[in-house]
């Protein structure tokens, strides 16, 4: 068993997970420092979401160790699990908002169910979170009445209302246009600084992630093939890293080649 670095709020060691004969995670190890933004990058199907679900304790890994604030999260340690749940939040790719509850009720739910706060205190805390995320005017609206960006902010309000120390973000920009992607990463960076939580983001948006993160890890074929500061990722010569990082440029080159080929064909005709 490894000794945990006290600077790490979350420390993962040798995480393995497989579904039947298909190995999804094959020994993932990394540490997330307190108050930092840590991003796990990787192509689709690399095992990012499974990794996040293992970390958030939604699925149980086959092997490996997860330490939260120095405490090992294992089946035999329910107290550590309860502590972990109390101090963490999860922002889902689909937002996972309760569609039969209003915005205010959605944000109030974790406080009502996990704290002993009085009704007026819960209401104050909820309005504080909704105001900070600039959606307090929609407190009585249902999630279906809000735009995609507002729903994302509402999900973030619900995630931060319990004042967590660690927030997991699962593909926060999936399916969004470039402008909205920027807005979401700006929002994460802004509120991470404002509230001081530690953020662990799983995404495949390289450019935005590099700007918003302190450290980056690249997951490929169930294994971390790069881990370091985002500046280092930008200039790394590692084959997989450069292939992933330069994928946009590679797409441009491929498209240019196709266009040249088409042009050549039309001239020959």
Partner 1 sequence: MLHWIGRRTLSLTTGLGDFALFTGRSFHAAWGSKRIFQRILRAFYEQGTLCLPVILIVGLFTGLVVGLQGYYVLNRFGSEGLLGALVSLSLVREMAPVLAALMLVGQAGSALAAELGIQRNSEQIVALETMGVSSHAYLIAPRLIAALVVFPMQTAIFVAIGLWGGSLSGSLMLGVESGVYWSSVERAVGSEDIRECFTKATIFGLLTISICAYHGFNAHRCRTATGARAVSASTTRAVVHSSIVVLAADYVITSFLV
Which residues of the chain form contacts with partner 1 (CB under 8 A)?
56-58, 82, 85-86, 88-90, 92, 94, 96-99, 109-110, 112-114, 162
Q: Which of 186, 228, 194 is nearest to 35 (CA)?
A: 194
CB closer to partner 1 out of 34 and 85: 85
Q: Alpha-carbon distance 193 to 191, whole Å?
A: 5
CB closer to partner 1 out of 58 and 256: 58
- Nearest approach, Cβ of 109 to partner 1 (angstroms)? 7
CB closer to partner 1 out of 54 and 206: 54
- List the 22-33 sheet strands across, edge first: 22-33, 8-19, 63-68, 71-72
- Nearest approach, Cβ of 94 to partner 1 (angstroms)? 6
Taking phi over 0 as left and psi of -120 to 50 as alpha, with beta for the rest, 28 belongs to beta
Instruction: Work out the number of other CB atoms within 10 angstroms of the CB of residue 25.
Output: 26
- Nearest approach, Cβ of 154 to partner 1 (angstroms)? 12
- Nearest approach, Cβ of 225 to partner 1 (angstroms)? 28
Token pair 């042009």 is found at 263
- List the 88-91 sheet strands across, edge first: 88-91, 166-170, 198-203, 37-41, 215-220, 223-229
CB closer to partner 1 out of 57 and 242: 57
- Nearest approach, Cβ of 155 to partner 1 (angstroms)? 9
CB closer to partner 1 out of 89 and 192: 89
Largest CA distance in the chain: 79
- Nearest approach, Cβ of 160 to partner 1 (angstroms)? 12
Q: What are the tokens at 46?
A: 């690399």
- Nearest approach, Cβ of 167 to partner 1 (angstroms)? 11
CB closer to partner 1 out of 87 and 180: 87
CB closer to partner 1 out of 90 and 191: 90
DSSP per position, 141-203: S-GGGS-HHHHHHHHHHHHHTT--SEEEEESTTTT--HHHHHHHHHHHHHHHHHH--EEEEEE
């Amino acid at each position: 068993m490894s000794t945990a670095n006290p600077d790490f709020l979350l420390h993962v060691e040798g995480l393995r997970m497989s579904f039947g004969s298909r190995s999804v995670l094959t020994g993932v190890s990394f540490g997330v420092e307190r108050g930092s933004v840590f991003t796990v990058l990787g192509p689709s199907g690399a095992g990012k979401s499974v990794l996040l679900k293992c970390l958030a304790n939604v699925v149980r890994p086959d092997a490996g160790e997860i330490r939260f604030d120095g405490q090992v999260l294992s089946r035999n340690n329910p107290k550590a699990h309860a502590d972990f749940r109390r101090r963490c939040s999860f922002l889902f790719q689909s937002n996972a908002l309760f569609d039969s509850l209003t915005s205010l009720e959605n944000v109030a739910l974790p406080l009502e169910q996990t704290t002993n706060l009085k009704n007026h205190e819960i209401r104050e805390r909820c309005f504080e979170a909704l105001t900070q995320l600039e959606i307090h005017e929609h407190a009585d609206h249902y999630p279906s009445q809000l735009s995609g960006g507002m729903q994302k902010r509402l999900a973030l309000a619900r995630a931060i209302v319990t004042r967590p120390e660690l927030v997991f973000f699962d593909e926060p920009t999936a399916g969004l246009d470039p402008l909205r992607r920027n807005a979401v990463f700006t929002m994460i960076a802004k509120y991470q600084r404002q509230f001081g939580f530690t953020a662990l983001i799983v995404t495949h948006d390289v450019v935005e992630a590099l700007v918003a993160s302190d450290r980056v890890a690249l997951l490929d074929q169930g294994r971390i093939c790069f881990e370091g500061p985002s500046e280092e990722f930008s200039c790394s010569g590692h084959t997989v890293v450069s292939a992933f990082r330069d994928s946009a440029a590679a797409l441009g080159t491929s498209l240019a080649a196709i266009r040249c080929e088409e042009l050549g064909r039309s001239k020959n005709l």
